[in-house]
Amino acid sequence: MTQLSINQSSDTIAIHEVSGPWRDAWKAFRKNKTALLGLGLILFFIIIAIIAPYIAPYGYKDQQLMDRLKPPSSAHWFGTDDFGRDLFTRVLFGARISLWVGFFSVIGSIVVGTVLGILAGYYGKWADMLISRLFDIVLAFPSILLAIAIVAILGPSLQNALYAIAIVNIPTYGRLVRAKVLSLKNEEYIMSAKAIGMKNNRILFSHILPNSLTPIIVQGTLGIATAIIEAAALGFLGLGAQPPDPEWGKMLSDSRQFIQKAPWTVVFPGVSIMLTVLGFNLMGDGLRDVLDPRMKN
């Protein structure tokens, strides 16, 4: 978007670029090479997750027992597992599962955590005390152990693993939003909105929530990486995706007894997890550098 201004003394037209916070943030983000690398890794895995059915040479369930534990070759780029299934195909489809769990568990955590954080921070008193104590109780347990307990109660499945990951991460976003709301609700423009009779709901959605998005975006990006690791951990323990779904953590668990005999069965799922998590971490760090005013010179 550009703005035209006419200089009448010289009869020339000067074109000035209109800047905004998000435009400036994108410009600064593009200058961060490591953040762009992270974005590239994320886009790469998103693309292969989308086109997996079209580029996979085999079905991820197809078993060829005569070809079990074959090393990488032109027929099987990543080799085969102990059931003769093509690892390249299973890694491609595994990207779908890991990204699906990562994105939707974080979205669930953000939605619930943001609502609770706003209620606690804006209304205070008994609402703040009740919600804050609830957050403290959840945070008193190690996140992976609490997720294991939740899945053990609900039953092992990928969907229940998603629920568990979302639940254990709600306090992270709730406390982040609560702290932001506490700092915003005493600002002059919020006090002015109250003085003119603006309703609380409008203040929350028009002023409080938009100004709380920056830390949510940064933490959400980093949270996806954490969610992918937690999903892989649950899958490794047999509490996440169930056979024959090609979840990366489950693939590592099934192949751990073949580490010496067929190391490729462990290397490719492990590297996939590492690169995906690295991508979100690099991008999250870049977003924090760009969006956090304290990180700017």
CATH of the domain at 157: 1.10.3720.10
Distance CA 115, CA 177 (A): 9
Q: Does some domain include residue 158? A: yes
Distance CA 84, CA 128 (A): 55
Would you give the DSSP letter of residue 57?
S
Distance CA 232, CA 228 (A): 6
pLDDT band of residue 103 (cuts 50, 70, 90) is: very high
| Encoded tokens for 71 | 């090393």
Q: What values do phi and psi take at 94, rounded to 5?
A: -65, -30
Compute the CA torsion angle 86, 88, 91, 95 (nearest 10 deg): -130
Q: Does some domain include residue 200? A: yes
pLDDT at 1 over 50: no
pLDDT at 293 over 60: no
pLDDT at 120 over 70: yes
Q: Does some domain include residue 252? A: yes
Q: How many domains does the chain have?
A: 1
Q: Does some domain include residue 12? A: no
Tell me which residue has tokens 């991820």. Answer: 60
Residue 130 lies in domain? 40-50+93-295
Q: Does some domain include residue 74? A: no
pLDDT band of residue 15 (cuts 50, 70, 90) is: very low
Q: Which distant-in-sequence residues (6+ apart) come within 8 Å of 177 by Cβ?
A: 113, 114, 116, 117, 118, 121, 212, 215, 216
Q: Does some domain include residue 215? A: yes
Q: Does some domain include residue 32? A: no
What would the pLDDT profile of 29-79 be if each residue is shown by its tens digit? 788 889 899 999 999 999 999 999 999 999 998 888 888 899 999 989 999
Q: Does some domain include residue 123? A: yes
